[in-house]
Structure 1
Amino acid sequence: MKSINQSRKASFSFNLPKINIPFMSKFKFNKKILLWVFGATAIIGLVLFFLIIIPVKNIFSSTASLNEHIKYTKDGFLLQNMTQVKRGVGYLKEDVLTVEAKTKKLSWTKFVPFLGMYYKDAESGLSAANHLTTSALLLVDSIYPNANLLGFSTDEKASTPLYGPEKVKALVTLFPKVAEDMDEIGIELASASSDLDKINPNRYPKSVRGKDVRGQILSLRSVVSGINTSFPDIKRLFEIFPVLTGNSSPMRYLVLFQNDKEIRPTGGFWTAYALFTFQNAQIVSSASGDMYMLDIDNKAGAYPPAPAPIKAYLKLDDWYIRDSNLSPDYKVSTDTLMDFWMRVPGVPAVDGVIAVDTQFVQGLLRVLGDVAVTGYSTPFTSENVVHELELYANVLRKMEKGRKDILGALMNEIINRAYGMPSGKYDDFLKEIGALLSEKHILMRFFDADLQTLAEHYKVAGRLVSYKGDYLHINDSNFGGRKANWWITEFVTQEIVKRGDIYEKVVTIDYENTGEYDAEWNTGYRDWVRVYVPEGAKLIDSSGSLNTVTSSTDLGKTVFTGYMAVDPLKKATLTLKYELPVGVVEEDAYKLLIQKQPGTDAFDYVVGFLGKKESFKLKTDREVVIK
């Protein structure tokens, strides 16, 4: 007799049906193969873990230290502690070497397709970082012995508080010493730039989790490349800065005020002047006056006959100093000025001529703040300075007696304010100066050949340059005797079409006088306008000029000259159609250089070439390339 349990067990028993899976029926499991598969997978996993994951993890662990030391170095600058800065740069150097050593453990990936190019990029980036930290250490070592003169403390010396001219004098003393060490720094920068050029930014995404990646690589390459390219000139500036500020012998500069509201070829009517003599980085003497005084109160023995446009439009028989900037090339105009200057009794020889306009003064006051000038009840601000300077210019124009000298007094106060500004404003000040230079509100002319070459190289000399391609420079001269340029706007369009083998170009200048009639300020705009184009261009047609447009040659360009009238609240248009010389336009791309007239605002431009267009505001000289 069967037991109850056995009966229950029997009652629940059943046979599983055989399921026939074709694939599985053909595949016979082999335990050895299975073990090999799992073993190989484990070995590959371990290899990847030890050869990639651990090294990468170790590399990323080092970035925490790197970020810490970057902050430590920045804090050293903020605390003006040069010992901390030096120590921080040393730490960064060690961090780079540590990451470099850890990265070498992945060197085998350079032979692996796809991975190899990223390893080589990392290798180049770390090599660049190595060179950059080395150059930083060299610079800090060069500054360190005199860091206290720059307001930095060290473990060996407390900072020496310096203010105004004394601070500038300390810089002048330090610059030549730093220049001596710059060759070695330059070698490191060149190597860093070369390493970064090996990295292809297009291999990387534009952003990862909202953080810019490709842009950061491009930005770093651009900054390092820019510093490397200009480094020889930076060294030269460090060497000559003491010369500019009279460290070896006194340097005297003639500063001209160009009234850009009464535009003239170099940027404005020459209303007033100031003379500053520098010795050991300090102003040891200054004098100033107005240009009318040179022509009337202290006149030269004789004046040459007035050039045709001055005789025709200003109704003057003699060519006076105040009108000597007839050439749009600042060097040419200042050469003419010096011919006049040296014939004036009692004036000293000068080492350079620097021109500034109302926008220069306004820009500096935006950074430096309000300036009080002795003899004037109201402080000069960035809001009122242009109006005050124009009032001053009107007084000079009338040649009224008892006229006060604003320019010399104002420039003296601005220089003193710049000398004494807090270090926190240096960055804003340098940015403003850079913008004013690039937008041509400051022009420089030196009579030392090396200094002049440097000024021309950095495009602060107001020169009209040669160019391989198309060229355009519109030069306006306000011969109406009022301040109409305060209200004048210009809209410039150009269109190029091809007719057979010839390229024809139409330039249209739309003028608008947005101001109402004012007997003192805006009786109407009378503009002697010259349009500089490639030499050999042939005028086909023109319209809008009060006089017949003429064609001539000047400064290696063909010049089309006309005369415009734009009354208050009115518009006028000058149109020039001309044939471009053969070879100016190349088949693969159209290239155009537009040179901005100094003293002008950022006028609107539209450039069209065979149906393609580009629009922009002309803030500075601009190269346009249309393919």
Structure 2
Amino acid sequence: MAAREALTAAEEAITDGDIDGAQQELANAATLLNRAQSGADMLAFAAYIPWIGERYTAGVDVLNAVDKTVDVLVDAIAIVYELKETYDSAEDLIGWNDVAGDDASFSSLPSETKAKMFRQLANSLSDLRQMQTKLGLAQDDLAAFHALEAADAFSGIIAPFEEALGNLKKGVDLLVPFAAIAPEFAGLNGDRQFLMLFLNDTELRPGGGFLGTYGLMVTRDGDITSLETSDTYLVDKYVQGHDDYYVASPDPIKTYLEQPVWFFRDSTWSPDFEETARTATQLLRQEMAYGGQPVPQIDGVIGITTDFLSNLLYAIGPVTVDGQTFDGGNVAEAIEWQVEIQFFIDGVPREQRKEIVGLLGDEIMERVLSLPTSSWQTMFDLFTYSFERKDMAFMSFDESTQLAIEDAGWSATIDQGAADDFLMVVDSNMAALKSDPVVSRTIDYSITPTSKGYQAQVDITYDHDGGFDWKTSRYRTYTRIFVPEGSRLLSSSGSMENDLIRNPLGKPGVVTQADELGLTSFGAFISIEPQAQGTLSFT
């Protein structure tokens, strides 16, 4: 009972921001729990007594679990204490004592304070990883405790700590990768420049979407010192039409886009983001060099889709740029209208048509960095959700940073791992405008044991629910399925030589095979007219 009172007092101290008091109460709880464990050891013989033995064992388990919880909380408080010192320093530097805490923002911090906070985070990496391990072990102990029949008798004691552990684990799991990538992505060791890929998933490509706009972002000591965006077509113009520049494009791009040269705008060809990032970086630098332009040093790549942009605007609210309001519901179509139609109506030169994207990006960045601290949790939740959905992905040319990104699940890399079976269906919009939002897909997959192993059947059915308009056309896609390496194609149906305009007789197409990403892929072209259906099948 005394240990519980000490833990309750520690919880109240944490709530009140009394870090010193929390440390003292946790120390008291640890001492009392140690005494309880010593007493339990003296009664070890009770474990062999029916009925009593099970309750004795449950009591020992709860003591062990709570003891480990206390150890973890003590470590957590120590790190929080160090971070609080930095926070307190920030208050002194910018006068936060005179401002409501919930109204403070990242942009209001002086540059030196931002750098100090990011360095503190980076320096805490080892401690955070140790805490992550301890939290996992404590959760394992609690899970084992719950499996006991007598666990219900102690649920009232355990519940508050279990909830605290879960919340703390969630926070630490997010902080660990941020701490690991902070030196590179925050530019703590000098300027770092990142290639931003704005991936339009209304025109699907394997790497996340068509790359119509890109950006270059520079960070230094936790600050974004510059962010410039531009049209990928302007970079491609440096090399387009020059016979002495030639990078062979993937065969489907050569065939269905009739484009033998691989341009920067088509670099998102691999479903593995690291590979796409490396290709995009290489093609950008080559084209800039050929055009006599300054060749950017790229330290990492960040990819974001229009779905991420939409969810971000839902979170921060509408943004108005040049009289156009962009919100979570209209941003993809509104941008497309501006850069494909409105610029012509307004008499804007084609080379300047995507400047609106840069202005929108600046306004969104300013809005995000000006969010009060009370909204930071919403942003963290959005980033976590976006990484899980692959609407955002990171890549670093620094090896240790890339490993940390992969460990966090932020890399969007492809790995079959230890799985016995694997299936990934990858569409590549081949000049079908922005038709993907009105095309639904149904994937049917079955696997059957045979005398020679296993036989799989994949049916991909496309339903085109749209029509012909300024952003929608017949759907043209080169579809690849990725399956375990060494798989053989027995038969296929539904592939087309080209769409009905270029292939009015409906001649079947060829199915290609390749080994890539440690897997085997089979690819075929299919086209679906508006309000029609088509199916690709592979056996």
The question of whether the paired residues in 1 share the 8 Å contact of 2:69 and 2:138 is answered with no
Q: 1:414 offset after TM fit, Å?
A: 1.8
Residue in 1 that maps onto 2:298: 350
Out of 19, 22, 43, which is 1:85 matched to?
A: 19
Residue in 2 that maps onto 1:122: 62
Q: What TM-score do you get using the length of structure 1 for normalisation?
A: 0.71
1:339 aligns with 2:282: yes
Instruction: For 1:175 and 1:309, locate their aligned partners in 2 and report how far apart those are by CA, in whole Å.
Output: 45
SS at match of 1:538: coil
1:278 aligns with 2:219: yes
SS at match of 1:480: coil
Pick closer, same or farther for the CA change 1:151–1:285 going to 2, 3 Å: same
The question of whether the paired residues in 2 share the 8 Å contact of 1:365 and 1:381 is answered with yes
Pick closer, same or farther for the CA change 1:187–1:438 going to 2, 3 Å: closer
Instruction: For 2:314 and 2:27, locate their aligned partners in 1 and report how far apart those are by CA, in whole Å.
Output: 40
Sequence identity (%):
22
* Matched letter for residue 428 of structure 2: S
Instruction: For 2:121 and 2:251, locate their aligned partners in 1 and report how far apart those are by CA, in whole Å.
Output: 53
Q: What TM-score do you get using the length of structure 2 for normalisation?
A: 0.82
The question of whether the paired residues in 1 share the 8 Å contact of 2:511 and 2:523 is answered with yes
Q: 1:562 offset after TM fit, Å?
A: 1.0
Pick closer, same or farther for the CA change 1:206–1:521 going to 2, 3 Å: farther
Show CA shifts across 1:49-69 (max 9, x none): xxxxxxxxxx2x764564454
Q: 1:239 offset after TM fit, Å?
A: 5.6
1:202 aligns with 2:147: yes
Listed as ranges, the matches of 1:183-332 within 5 Å are 183=126, 187=130, 190-191=133-134, 193-194=136-137, 196-199=139-142, 200=144, 201-204=146-149, 234=176, 237-238=178-179, 240-296=181-237, 302-332=245-275
Residue in 2 that maps onto 1:79: none
| Greater fraction helix | 2
* Matched letter for residue 346 of structure 1: Q
Note the residue ranges of structure 2 that are not aligned, 5 or more in a row: 47-52, 497-508
The question of whether the paired residues in 2 share the 8 Å contact of 1:205 and 1:213 is answered with no
Out of 116, 124, 127, which is 1:173 matched to?
A: 116
Pick closer, same or farther for the CA change 1:123–1:402 going to 2, 3 Å: closer
Instruction: For 1:215 and 1:85, locate their aligned partners in 2 and report how far apart those are by CA, in whole Å.
Output: 23
Number of residue pairs matched? 501
1:372 aligns with 2:320: yes
Show CA shifts across 1:56-102 (max 9, x none): xxx2x7645644542442243xxxxxxx2332343344245445545
Out of 369, 375, 388, which is 1:438 matched to?
A: 388
Greater Cα radius of gyration, structure 1 or 2: 1
SS at match of 2:271: coil
Instruction: For 1:220 and 1:66, locate their aligned partners in 2 and report how far apart those are by CA, in whole Å.
Output: 12
Instruction: For 1:67 and 1:303, locate their aligned partners in 2 and report how far apart those are by CA, in whole Å.
Output: 70
Residue in 1 that maps onto 2:332: 386
Q: 1:439 offset after TM fit, Å?
A: 0.7
Listed as ranges, the matches of 1:562-577 within 5 Å are 562-577=524-539
The question of whether the paired residues in 2 share the 8 Å contact of 1:142 and 1:181 is answered with no
* Matched letter for residue 549 of structure 1: V
* Matched letter for residue 405 of structure 2: A
SS at match of 1:477: coil
Listed as ranges, the matches of 1:80-159 within 5 Å are 84-98=18-32, 101=35, 105=39, 107-112=41-46, 113-149=53-89, 151=91, 158=97
Pick closer, same or farther for the CA change 1:335–1:144 going to 2, 3 Å: closer
Out of 523, 526, 532, which is 1:561 matched to?
A: 523
Instruction: For 1:204 and 1:426, locate their aligned partners in 2 and report how far apart those are by CA, in whole Å.
Output: 41
Residue in 1 that maps onto 2:463: 512
The question of whether the paired residues in 2 share the 8 Å contact of 1:369 and 1:381 is answered with yes
Range moving further from structure 2, 140-149 or 253-262: 140-149
SS at match of 2:527: strand
Larger RCO of the pair (alpha carbons < 8 Å, separation 6+): 2
Q: 1:202 offset after TM fit, Å?
A: 1.0
Show CA shifts across 1:208-253 (max 9, x none): 89x899998887777777788x69x82x743641432223311112
Instruction: For 2:127 and 2:303, locate their aligned partners in 1 and report how far apart those are by CA, in whole Å.
Output: 37
Instruction: For 1:150 and 1:434, locate their aligned partners in 2 and report how far apart those are by CA, in whole Å.
Output: 27
